[in-house]
Every structure is written in structure tokens, then in C-alpha cells.
Structure 1
Amino acid sequence: MESQRTFLFIGLLLVSYLLFQEWNTAYNQPKIDTSATTQVTTPTSTPVSDDVPASSQDDVPVAQTKAIRSTVSVKTDVLDVKIDTKGGDIVEAKLLQHAETHGSEEPYLLLGEFENKQYIAQSGLIGLNGPDASRDGRPVYESTQSAYTLEGDELRVPLTFVDSKGIVYTKTYVFKAGKYDVALEYDVNNTSADPIQVQLYTQVKRTVQNKGSMVDQTYLGAAYGTNEEPYEKYSFDDMSEANLNKNTQGGYIAFIQHYFVSAWVPNQTVNSTIYTLLRNGQGIIGVKNEPVNVAANSSSTMNATYYMGPKDSDALEAIQEDLDLTVDYGWLFFISQPLFVLLKLIYGVVGNWGIAIIAITILVKTALYPLTKAQYTSMAKMRMLQPKMQALKERYGDDRQKFGQATMELYRKEKVNPMGGCLPLLLQMPIFLALFYVFLESTELRHAEFMLWLTDLSAKDPYYVLPILFGASMFLTQKLQPMTVTDPMQQKMMTYMPLVFTFFFIIFPFPSGLVLYWLVSNLITIAQMLYIYRGMEKKGLKVR
């Protein structure tokens, strides 16, 4: 296994991955019938609107009082939110600590109406007496203020609705300083002479969107967790094929995008049903709690938590033990997570994400040095056997059986393992891919500056300096390690590999932080190669 073949192997992996992503984007999109309505099929239940899920019981019309619909504004140190009094939904959320684009003063719009698309968080009460189950439409709440501003550690925003029977429904959002998670408290004060039954639901609705091209974003779609399945994706395509209907205690639901997530976390002690709906180009994932009976002249409170913000592993795990899995590092998460923790620790010391990337690359390459040494030592020995291998070919001609036997005997005699160069590479690949996802998925790298022209490590190098330097480092590697393959086609492929990779990194928007890692990793590999070869040459072995 030659160094050039190592690059070719990595390149084929990357190209295969990206081509699969592009194929999936072009040919595997959700098939949506906007003329039909899809709903969760619950026995003897009927949905009352496109937004409201079916109840666990027959829906009974609830007479409503009329109120004027309006919007309530809420501003904290990290959130700027708008709540629609119809239904009490969060219809807009801006993240004040995250810019819309690099260098922009406009905060990032996570929820809202943009580019003819909708992304909102909804909640309400259905069931036998739930106001959201009414045939008259969802309730319109009243608020004592049209705008709220957080001034202390906590801000409570109550919305009140009173039906014709005098039953008081109070929906309160609780915001806290520095927090992206908002508590929802639903108080039901049954002032009537009859018992009632309600059922809390919380959901996120988003216009169906196709995933972006190539590597410009990671997974875009829904996800959920149950007490048996900590993290499962449920894409728009999945919704178009079948509605989700999962029973669990606790759990969560979420919509995931690159760097950000919104998620509803129900009361973890309550039995719930996780569901999806797909209607008129809108995808919904939500949670229905079990029905709650409220006796006459008594009250009851139901609660949930809504998170709308960056993919902060620590903050997400603090809300629900599995919610941090929405920071999707792929199937190698068990490697990526500790690597990210290490990256953050380094950043805490150096205070620069670019330097932290360089430092973690040095640490990883140093830890893998024994494998690297085994790889290059094996390759060097294989090269030194080339004259003897050629002699065996000339001696046995087309007799493959005798040539194979003689070759194995030569390996045994010279104590060379033909797989010695391949196995170390295969052992290093999981770490390489794990770091790939760390740099691609970590919110901390979004708009993070390094130095000079590199002002955003999550964006491509604007002047293509890093890709060109990477191509040059590959070219230098080839010069230091002469090509031994004899096939003309393979020789041409190896010769043009630096140009192919340089062009590859230029045309595709790889984050500059990721290219920085590859460049530094390559430079360290060159240094290690020279050191290993020098040591072998001191022992009298000619390796170059």
C-alpha cells in the first residue's frame, strides 16, 4: 500500500459519499400529494384542522368566546420571539447571539416565515374538552401586554383563554436569562360543575425542504427519541411514506438543520405518543400526552419544554439525556463526541478555534504515530522487495500458483506482512471520519475566525489558499515517496491526484476548518515519513 494509494483511497471515499448525497438530493425527494390530506389514524378520532393532531377520543365541539388576534413580542438576552395569540404558537424566533450571515448585524432567524417557507412551534389542548379540538377553530388567547422584555433571571408570559362554560385555560411561557429552552406551563381551571378531559400536544411544523447540494449542510429533517430508541431520524421522505405513531414515556421530538435545532421535550414521567403529519407541503412532528381528567371546581397543570437554538451538546443534554444526540456526528458519534470535548478543552486554553484545530490534529497524529510508523515501514519493506518480486515473476512466468507460493515464502523469509500498510490505514479511517463530522457539525465553528483572511472556519476558503497548499503538500509527498506502481493508468492517476484534490476542494464548499485539518495532518505525515525513513536508512536500509 503506497502513500499515493492512501490518498486515492481517501479520495474515493469522499467522492462516493458526496455523489451519494447528490443522488439522494436529486432522485429521492418526498412524494407529496397536495390534493390529499394525510393524518394520524387513531381509532374513532377526527382531526379538526390541518395543524391539530387527532385526539385519543372523539373530538367534541367546544364553544369559544371571540377575541381579537394579535402578536406578543418577547425579548431576552438570547432570544427575540413572537407569539401568535391564536393558538399561542411561537411563530418567530431570532437568535440574538448568532448572526444571520458572517459579519451581519441581523440576528439569525430560526423560526418564522422566510423564502415562502414556514417553520413554527405549536402547542395546545385537544381531547374531549380541549379548546384546540373545537370545530370553530383554535382558541384566541388574551395577553395583558403586547411586548415583554426580560430584565431579571426569569420572565413569565401568560396567555389566557376562557370558554363559554367559564373554564379558564392559561398558557404560560417561562423564559430564562441565557437560555434557549423555554418552559411551557398549561393550567386548566375547571370552574364548571362537570368534569372535563384534555390532552396536551406539542409539535413543530416546517415546510418541506430539499437538502442542499453536496456538503453545504448536514441532515435537514425531523428526529425523535423514545425510551427504547434514543435517537432516530424521520425525514420528510419518511413522512410521505407513513405517519409515525410511537408510544413512549417521556422522549422528545425535534427538527434538525445545520448548526441549529428546535425540540419539544414532554414531561418525562408522562406516557406520550410521538406522531407525524404531512399536509399540503407541511411536515409536522409532535408529541401527544395521555389524556388528563380535571374534576369539577378543580385545576390541573401540564408542562413541557421547548428548545430553539444552536446545537449545544451540554445544554441539550441538560434538558433531556438523549437530546444531545441531535448534534449528529453520524455512526461514529462515540469517537466524535470525545474528540469534540477535547477540541473544546484546547480552545479553552488557546482561545482560537483555528489554533485548536491545529493542536488537536497534532495530538491525534502523535497518538496514531505507532500505526503510521507500521504503515510506512511496511510500505518501505515492500518497495525493497520489488526487485526480488520482479525476479519471481520472470522465473515462474504465467504459473500463478507457483508464483503465489514463492511470494508468500519470500514474505515469510523477509518478515514482511503485505497487509502491514493497509491495516494501519483502515484503523485510522474511523478517526479521520469522526473528525470530519466534528468540524462539519460543531456550531462553535460557525463564523469562528482564525487569522488573516480566514474569518469563518465554517465557510470555504475565499481565496483557495488552503486547497492549493494541500495540493502542494500531496505533491511533495509523492516526491518524497517515489512511485513504484508499474501500470501506466495507475501512474497517471497517482500523478494527477494532487491536482484532482485541489480542484475538488475548490469547487465544493468544504469548511475551511476541515481543509485546515487535512493540510496540517498532511504536513505532519510528511514530517513523520521523513523521520521514519531517516531511522531506517541509519540501519542501512535504502527506502527511497
Structure 2
Amino acid sequence: MDSQRTILVIALLVLSFLMFQQWQHKGGNTPGIDPTTAPQVAEPAANNDVPQATGDIPVASNNNDSPTTETTAIEGDTITVSTDVLRVEISLRGGDLIKSELLQHAETLGEEARYTILYQRPGNLHIAQSGLIGPDGVDSADSRPVYSAQQRSYEMNGDTLEVPLVYQQEDGTEVTKTYTFVRSDYAINVDYRVANNSDRAKTMSMYGQLKQTMLDGGRDSMFMPTYRGAAYSAESNRYKKYSFSDIQDNALSNNTPAGWVAMLEHYFVTAWVPDQEATNRLYTNNNALGEGMIGFIGPAHTVAPGETLELSSSLYMGPKNQARLKELAEHLNLTVDYGFLWWLAQPIYWLLSLLQSIVINWGLAIILVTVIIKSLLYPLTKAQYVSMAKMRKIAPKMKEMRERLGDDRQKMSAAMMKMYKEEKVNPLGGCLPMLLQLPIFLALYWVLLESPEIRHADFMLWINDLSSRDPYFILPLLMGGSMWLMQRLQPTPVTDPMQQKILQFMPIIFTVFFLFFPAGLVLYWLVSNLISITQMTWIYRQIEKQDEKKSKVKAR
């Protein structure tokens, strides 16, 4: 196999990988609901109540909930909370988070609007719900408690901010639901304090769930497929995607120590992390409004009369920050999904992050990573080009041999192997370095696709977002030109007319592919090609000088 054929094989492998990825994404990760015919969520009423349907609120074991008595909420039925990284809205009915803006992340590059990870809009919602269920829980499918708050808006001034919501039952039992926000953190503590002021023991469980309209966002392409849907971690599966179609077809019910549930989207994640010391039930559900839910139910707790029960969980809603996610729960960092090449993508991400912390530019970090990778592969690259140079030297003999032996493949194969042995040529010497670049390329592709730090990361000049395609297609065109130049420098001719035509079009085909790739990935491939051209030219010149010296020695 010569190097040009290897290029063709790599191109086919890359294309096959992208096609398989898109097929898997469309076939297994989205429900295929048409937005024009999907069930529509009712527009929020004036009191901002979240539309409910039977089955929205999970049912704990032996749940004999009865409707609760609702109290009067303050005007507007919502409160707002602002920190340095979050601006959220909390509905007093149920105390649910119905809106969350990420203040450090723009919705679109260069615009004022912030990225909204939780929202409640006509026909589309994504909210975080939690409550107390069980024989004496205050939440049920028929009724949600309406909490009261001391003020309508809260703003963080110190390092932490507590937002208590209070609900008083007729029998005197007081439920306090407290959201605790921490400066510069996307994780929120959600704590329940139940003061049982009644004359009987009460049993209840805490639950938390994420509810989202099951519509295909339609933002991805063949070259940048992204997953939008649920995921969970349990004792039996450290990380498992559970798509909207899975939710529709087969309800999840998994009892596990610790665990977590999440809703994933491109670069961002929302996750409930229950008590990691308890055994929790993870579940999914869906309703007639086209909404899918994934959540957890904690163990049942009994609080005696005059006693107090405290329950706690965490809610994360923000970018896929691997270090922070790993701190919150085991395997939660796997929501940054690098695919089957995670073992290679992780060190590449680590190296990229290290270099970026030094040069303070993700584009320069990508260039430095490329230089390091090419330097590590240089011994193999040198062997590749030496092998290619030897193949060039015997090319005339091979051409004469083909003309002499014609279509006799058996004799041709035996004669070629004999020539390789006599000339000390390894026909596979040019394959390994190029094949090694394929997993590196795919691993870096996933790093750029999944790492939120690279979203909207500026490089220089016209490249102001390394995670998106080049707006003027300059980098892909330069990459195509560099590939064409490399092809011209390839010393081994291909005699098959069909292969010749295909190889002639390879720079054009690759350029078309790379028009839609993230600019950071195109930058890597372009720099890699330029380094290869430099190495190729240098090695060929050294070989020519050695041949000239040998010729002079023989002439003497």
C-alpha cells in the first residue's frame, strides 16, 4: 500500500465514521417528532403555573397522597434570583426552576442575549422540578404546594445566597425549601426542612426531575452531530444515554446506590445529583403533551411529631466543566462524551488546556498541540518518507515489470516482493504514520465538539469562534491547497486510471468536507499539512544529498 492509497483509505474511513455517527444520532438519539405536528404545551397562565398532566409527578411506593391546601402566593407567582453566573426564575407553585440564564455565555456570538438552559415557552419547555412525595408528601399529581417568599427578587452580594421558600400545612407542619447559590458556581443546593408540628408521624421521599419537550432541535449537521436528550448513571451503567425515543418506548426504573440523572445538549448539561450516600430510584416518564422526564426518588424517611427532617440534593445547570462535574458526582464528567476515543481525547484535552493556560489563546494552543504531535510522530514520518523515496527510485522498474508481465497477478506479486527485498523497501512503511493520524484527528474532533471552553473561543483575524466553521472558508481552502501540494510532492505514482482520477479529486473532496468542520479542527489539519510538507522537503533533500555522495564515491 502506497501513501496516496492510504490517503484514499483514510478519506473513506473519515466519511464512513461521519455517516455512521449521523445515522446513530438520527436513529437512536432523537424521537423523530415533527415540530409542526407535535403536541403543544399550553401557554403559561397569568400565575405562571407550570402546565401539569397526569403522571408528571412521580409516585413513590405506597403513595397515598391527598390534595394539599394551597396558600396564597405573592403577586406574579415567581421570584428572580441573580448571581454572578446565573439569573433564574422560580415558580412559587412547587418551587420549580422554570428559567435559567447563563450570564457568562452568549446565546449567539456577539449578541447581548444570554444562553438560556432552562425555559418555559409556548410549545417548548425545559424545567427542573423537585418536591416531597409519599404517604405524607406535599406534592402529588393532583396538587402542588404554593410556597411563600420573603421578597420577589434576590441578588448575590457575598459568596453565598440562600433563598428560602415556606409552605404551611393545615395541621401546622412547615416545609421550607431552600435554594443555596454559591458565587461562580453553576451547582445549586436544594434542601428541604420538614418541621412536623402535627400529632402523628409523617413519611415522605424527596424527588427531583428534569422535564423537557421532546422535539428535535435541528441545529446539528452531518459533520457536527450533537446529542440532545437524557442520560443517567447507575451502579450497572456508569454513563448511559437515554434518548427521547427510549423514554417513549421503555420507562426507566433503576434502583441504585448514589447515581444521577441529566438532560444533555451541545456544550451544556442540567443534572440532578441526589444524596450520594443513599439508594435512589432513577426513572423516566412522558406525558400527552410531548414532554419527557427523567428524575430520581430518594428513600422514604419518617419524621416523628415534634421532630424535624432534612433532605438535600444538588442541581447543576451550566457548561460541561469536567472538573466541577467530577466533584459533584462520580462519572458525571462523562457527560462530556468523547466517544470510543475518550482514552485519547482526554490527554489531548488536558494538553490543550495546559497550553491554553500559558498562551491564553485556544488557536495557538491547537497549533502547539499539532507541533507536539508531529514531533512525536517524526521518527515514523521519516521512515515513511524514506520508504516513499525508495519507492520513487524503483518506480521505473515497476512500470517496466507491469508492462512485461501484463495481467499475470501471481507473477507480478512474486516479482514485486523480490524487488522489495533486493532494494530493501518496505511497501507498508508509508502507512503507519498516516493511519496514526486518523484516531488523533477524530479525538481532537470530539474535543472541539464537546469542550465548552472552546465554544466562542477567539483565535485571530476573522476566526472568532474555533468551535464553528470558518465564516469565509479561508482555512478550508488553504487546507485544500496544502493537500494538493502534498499530493504533488508524493513520489509514488499510481498507475490505475480510476485511482488516479479519485486521488486528483481528493483535495477538492476534503476541502468540501472541511468547509463545515469547526475552524479549530481545520486549523489543526492545515498546520499538520504544512509541517508535513516541511518535513517531506527536508527529508527528500537529505536523501538526495546522500545519493549524490554515494554517486561521487562510486565514480571514483
TM-score (norm 1): 0.91
One-letter amino acid of the counterpart of residue 242, structure 2: Y
Q: Residues 392-471 of structure 1: matches in 2 within 5 Å?
A: 392-394=401-403, 396-471=405-480
Report the 3-state secondary structure (helix = DSSP H, G, I; strand = E; otherwise coil) of the residue aligned with 2:139. helix
Alpha-carbon shift at residue 21 of structure 1 (Å):
4.3
- Structure 1 residue 66: Cα displacement: 3.3
The equivalent residue for 2:371 is 362
Q: Which of 182, 186, 192 pairs up with 2:188?
A: 182
Partner of 1:8: 8
Asked if structure 2 preserves the Cα contact closer than 8 Å seen for 1:276 and 1:286, the reply is: yes
> Which of 488, 495, 509 in structure 2 is aligned with 1:500?
509
2:284·2:295 contact (CA, 8 Å) conserved in 1?
Answer: yes
Q: Give 2:101's match in structure 1, choosing from 94, 113, 117.
A: 94
Report matched runs for 1:30-429 at 5 Å.
Answer: 30=31, 49-68=54-73, 70-114=77-121, 116-133=123-140, 135=142, 137-210=143-216, 212-279=220-287, 280-394=289-403, 396-429=405-438
Shift of 1:87: 1.0
Further displaced range: 209-218 or 287-296: 209-218
Q: CA separation of 1:215/1:189 partners in 2, compared to 1, >3 Å: closer, same or farther?
A: farther
Question: Alignment partner of 2:547: what SS?
Answer: coil
Distance 2:26 2:238 in 1: 30
Could you report, residue by residue, the CA deviation over 1:454-487 in whole angstroms, capped at 9, with x for unpaired residues? 1221221111111111111111111212451111
Contact 1:219 1:258 (8 Å CA) reproduced: yes
Deviation at 1:434, TM superposition (A): 0.9
Bigger mean CA offset, 532-541 vs 465-474: 532-541
Could you tell me how far apart the structure 2 residues matched to 1:536 and 1:314 are? 49
CA distance in structure 1 between the partners assigned to 2:62 and 2:541 by the alignment = 78
After superposition, the Cα gap between the structure-2 partners of 1:491 and 1:161, relative to the gap in structure 1 and judged at 3 Å, is same
Is residue 539 of structure 2 the alignment partner of residue 532 of structure 1?
yes
1:4 and 1:530 mapped to 2: Cα distance?
Answer: 17
Larger displacement relative to structure 2 (14-23 or 355-364): 14-23
Aligned 8 A contact 2:25 2:225 in 1: no
Q: Tell me which amino acid in the other structure corresponds to 1:64.
A: T
Counterpart of 1:43? Answer: none
CA deviation string 1:73-124 (max 9, x = no partner): 0000100000111111110000111111111122111110357311111111
In the alignment, the residues of structure 1 paired with residue 296 and residue 26 of structure 2 have an alpha-carbon distance, to the nearest angstrom, of 31
Unmatched segments (≥5 aa) in structure 2: 40-51, 550-556
Instruction: Return closer, same or farther for 1:490/1:448 CA change in 2, 3 Å cut-off.
Output: same
Structure-2 change in CA distance of 1:400 and 1:468 (3 Å): closer
3-state SS of paired residue (1:97)? strand
CA offsets, 1:377-402, max 9 Å, x none? 33333343333434544555544444
Q: Any idea what SS the aligned residue of 1:518 has? A: helix
Contact 1:95–1:108 under 8 Å retained in 2: yes
Q: Is the 8 A contact 2:3 2:430 kept in 1?
A: no
2:45 aligned partner: none
Letter of the structure 1 residue corresponding to residue 476 of structure 2: P
Which residue identity is paired with 2:428? M
Amino acid across the alignment from 1:381: K
Cα shift at 1:3:
4.0
C-alpha distance 323-186 of structure 1, shift in aligned 2 (>3 A): same
SS in 1 for 2:131: strand
| Aligned equivalents of 1:462, 1:167: Cα separation in 2 | 60
CA distance in 1, matches of 2:67, 2:381: 71
Q: What are structure 1's unaligned runs of at least 5 residues?
A: 36-46
Superposition deviation, residue 138 in structure 1: 1.3
Check 1:319–1:261 CA distance in 2 against 1; reply closer, same or farther (3 A cut).
same
Cα distance in structure 1, aligned partners of 2:478 and 2:404? 45
After superposition, the CA RMSD in angstroms is 2.4
1:180 deviation in Å? 0.5
Q: For residue 42 of structure 2, what is the aligned residue in structure 1?
A: none
- Contact 2:391–2:491, Cα closer than 8 Å, also in 1: no
Deviations along 1:267-314, one digit per CA (max 9) or x if unpaired, are: 110101111112231111111111112122211111111111111111
Question: In structure 2, the residue corresponding to 1:537 is in which secondary structure?
Answer: helix
Q: Is the 8 A contact 1:376 1:529 kept in 2?
A: yes
Report Cα offsets for 1:23-60 as digits up to 9, x if no partner. 4566665267989xxxxxxxxxxx98332112122333
* Alignment-mate amino acid for residue 359 of structure 1: L
What SS does the corresponding residue of 1:132 show, helix, strand or coil? coil
8 Å CA contact 1:224–1:254 kept in 2: the answer is: yes
Q: CA deviation at 1:16?
A: 2.2
> What's the counterpart of residue 48 of structure 2?
none
Q: When the two structures are aligned, how many residues end up with a matched partner?
A: 528
Aligned counterparts of 1:338 and 1:398: Cα–Cα separation in 2: 49
CA distance in 2, matches of 1:326, 1:501: 30
Aligned-partner SS, 2:511: helix
Q: Which amino acid aligns with 1:49?
A: T
Identical pairs, percent: 49
Does 2:499 correspond to 1:514? no
Deviation at 1:134, TM superposition (A): 5.9
- TM normalised by structure 2 equals 0.89
Distance of 2:7 and 2:340 partners within structure 1: 23
Change (3 A) 1:62 1:116: closer
Alpha-carbon distance between aligned partners in 2 of 1:523 and 1:6, rounded to the nearest angstrom: 19
Deviations 1:300-334 (A, max 9, x none): 11111111111111111121231111111111112
1:421 positional shift: 2.2
Q: Residue type matched to 2:180 in 1?
A: V
Quick check: 2:2–2:427 contact (8 Å CA) kept in 1? no
In the alignment, the residues of structure 2 paired with residue 81 and residue 529 of structure 1 have an alpha-carbon distance, to the nearest angstrom, of 56
Deviation, 1:61, is 1.3
Task: Work out whether residues 32 and 215 of structure 2, in 8 Å CA contact, stay in contact via their aligned partners in 1.
Answer: no
**Residues 62 and 130, structure 1, Cα contact 8 Å, conserved in 2:** no
- Change in CA separation of 1:111 and 1:343 when aligned onto 2, cut-off 3 Å: same
